[in-house]
Structure 1
Amino acid sequence: MLPMLKPFAFALSLAFAAAAASAQEPQMNLPRVKLAAGMHQIDAQVAATPDQRMTGLMHRKEMPQHEGMLFVFEMPSQQCFWMKNTLLPLSIAFVADDGTIVNIDEMAPQTLDSHCSVKPVRYVLEMNKGWFARKGIKAGDKLAGQPFK
């Protein structure tokens, strides 16, 4: 009986290794939405499922300056993010249902510091670090696009 278990155990260990390897791959093929912050255009990938939101921008080594990731939650609540396994420094905007930016924070790569919304929100937008500041976008400004209609 034991000799028969060896191939099964080997196959099982290969499956776990494959799952671990794929878990470290960045998600690159999420649906996209066009957003606008004033005259600035954003091409945002949309993370709308629990698995997509959990992975977020982890394991990415670069992201074009006009791109970001929009996290969409089922209902407004206080949202908190951290940067475990995220290699890029990011800016994060917590956004109300009408597109109003509630607060913005800067996040350092590979840290466990919590970055939270100051009010309940349903949307969170991550961009390359400093993007909002370079564009003069601050809390109280509005994002436009399909999710905020």
Structure 2
Amino acid sequence: MNPTRRRMLQGMALLPLLTLWRPDADARSSRLPTTTLTVHSARGPHRLTVELARSAAERSRGLMERDSLAEDAGMLFLYGAAQPAHSGFWMYRTRIALDIAFLDAEGRINDIHRMQPCRATSPSDCPVTRPSAPYHAALEVNAGYFEAKGIETGDCLSWPEQDDGACRRP
């Protein structure tokens, strides 16, 4: 498939997400519930206060229009079923650089990627960050957080609402 056609199809696939985004919503303060998430890694447990994005509208909005994110904060995107590896994340209308970790069903990190803000006027002009395998959740934090804390693929995350309880690094 030629690159122009691929970009057009990607943009068309993302268009339904735009209908979920409300530009009149207050972008500076979230009304999403929060929880304390723990990352279990070789350099000790790391605790973050994360917003929980559970609905399609919440996940679609993500961290758009934010000018900053607290150092030990993030957003946890939760899904009721596994998401295919071709279903990724974009940075349309996101102003801050982020790291994203894609998690398996047990909360283990399968992939970590760095994402840069996309200043394009069309969502189809923004790159999509995709994992290497299906995922059940994703965690976005400030760019550089995972590296600074020594968090790597294979590390595990736990949070109180998680069905199967805490996991630990092997």
**Shorter-chain TM-score tier:** 0.7 to 0.9
Alignment partner, residue 18 of structure 2 = none
1:110 aligns with 2:138: no
1:54 aligns with 2:69: no
Aligned residues: 131
Unaligned 5+ runs, structure 1: 1-18
Give 1:95's aligned amino acid: L
Counterpart contact for 1:82–1:113, Cα < 8 Å: yes
Give 1:115's aligned amino acid: T
Counterpart contact for 1:92–1:126, Cα < 8 Å: yes
Select the residue among 116, 138, 159 that pairs with 1:124: 138
Q: Which is helix-richer, 1 or 2?
A: 1
Counterpart contact for 1:69–1:127, Cα < 8 Å: yes
Q: Which runs of 4+ in 1 moved over 4 A?
A: none
Shift of 1:47: 0.5
Shift of 1:25: 2.6
TM-score when normalising by structure 1: 0.81
Between 84-93 and 139-148, the greater mean CA deviation after superposition = 139-148
TM-score when normalising by structure 2: 0.72
Give 2:31's aligned amino acid: N
Q: Quick one: percent identity of the two aligned structures?
A: 31
Shift of 1:23: 4.4
CA distance in 2, matches of 1:20, 1:140: 36
- Name the larger-Rg structure: 1
CA distance in 1, matches of 2:109, 2:141: 13
CA-to-aligned-CA distance 1:1-35 (integer Å, 9 cap, x gap)? xxxxxxxxxxxxxxxxxx96514734512011211
1:30 aligns with 2:36: no
Unaligned 5+ runs, structure 2: 1-20, 120-125, 166-170
Matches of residues 1-149 of structure 1 in structure 2 within 5 Å?
Answer: 21-23=23-25, 25-26=27-28, 28-38=30-40, 39-78=45-84, 79-110=87-118, 112-146=126-160, 147=162, 149=165
Between 100-109 and 74-83, the greater mean CA deviation after superposition = 74-83
CA distance in 1, matches of 2:47, 2:72: 7
CA-to-aligned-CA distance 1:54-108 (integer Å, 9 cap, x gap)? 0000000011010000001120122400000000100000011211001000000
CA distance in 2, matches of 1:26, 1:86: 12
CA RMSD after TM alignment = 1.8
Give 2:89's aligned amino acid: F
